[in-house]
Structure 1
Amino acid sequence: MKTISIRRATRHDAKPMADLLAKCQWFTYKTLYSDEYIENLIAQYYNVERIEQENVFISKDWHGYFIAEMEKSIIGVIGGGITDASIGEVYVFYIDPSLRGQGIGTRLLDFFTKHQKFTYGAQEQWVAVAKGNQHGIPFYEARGFTFQHEELTYGTREEDQDISLKYKREI
């Protein structure tokens, strides 16, 4: 396997990150949501301008993005923040679909988890996974996350029928 490096994303990474995140949205959600809904998600959350800003303005609430790279190509993206004194959350986490199953996601999640634990003192970690996302659910369960409850996905309305399954684990 080729060398993979993990680092904090910069403003200059925004375009390739946006391209990867759009590709991952289509791969992950094409059987769960309408094309219009996916296009709106991409336009709202994964546009270059927003990602540039999210790569620059970093805080306890939003740690910025961390990326996995292979041969100078961005192949994975993770981001999140601290939601309570000792609670970290993963808000965004995607791996290039063509590279799934090669351990890249585990490495990126482990890196981010250590960041939350040792930089911010997180003792537990949460993640929201789209109901029916059979790419994400088994991944998180295999890494010790346990289902807690269902809720509307961040930024959606009830009529969107976008339900998240909330999982947590101790770290």
Structure 2
Amino acid sequence: MITIQKATATHVEGIVKVCTEGNRATYKDIYTQEYLDRITEEFYNPERVLSEVSTSTRDWGGYFVALER
């Protein structure tokens, strides 16, 4: 059974991994590796993702995760 829930600090490592791999797979033929590395560092670093799972606003609902139970 798969459940969907709002992400917490325990999910940060997985979010970083999925977002990084997805971004690279999607854009590898469009952008340079250097650019992809820069984007990964800026948007998918553990500190930023932790901040984003720790807060939500009207404009940012946060991350959600699908968990197999």
Map of 1:30 onto structure 2: 28
Q: How many residues are paired up?
A: 69
**TM-score, L = length of structure 1:** 0.39
Q: 2 CA distance for matches of 1:70 and 1:26?
A: 25
Equivalent runs, 1:1-171 vs 2, <5 Å: 3-70=1-68
Gaps of 5+ in 2: none
Structure 1: 4+ residue segments shifted above 2 A: none
- Overall identity of the aligned pairs, in %: 30
Tell me how far apart the structure 1 counterparts of residues 36 and 66 of structure 2 sit (CA, whole Å).
24
Q: How far off is 1:69 after superposition?
A: 2.2
> Higher strand share goes to which structure?
1
CA deviation profile, 1:65-95 (whole Å, cap 9, x unmatched): 1112235xxxxxxxxxxxxxxxxxxxxxxxx
Structure exhibiting the larger radius of gyration computed from Cα positions: 1
Deviation of 1:42 after TM superposition, in Å, equals: 0.5
| Deviation at residue 23 of structure 1 after TM alignment | 0.8
- Output the TM-score relative to the length of structure 2: 0.90
User: Which runs of no fewer than 5 residues in structure 1 stay unpaired?
Assistant: 72-171
Greater fraction of residues in helix: 2
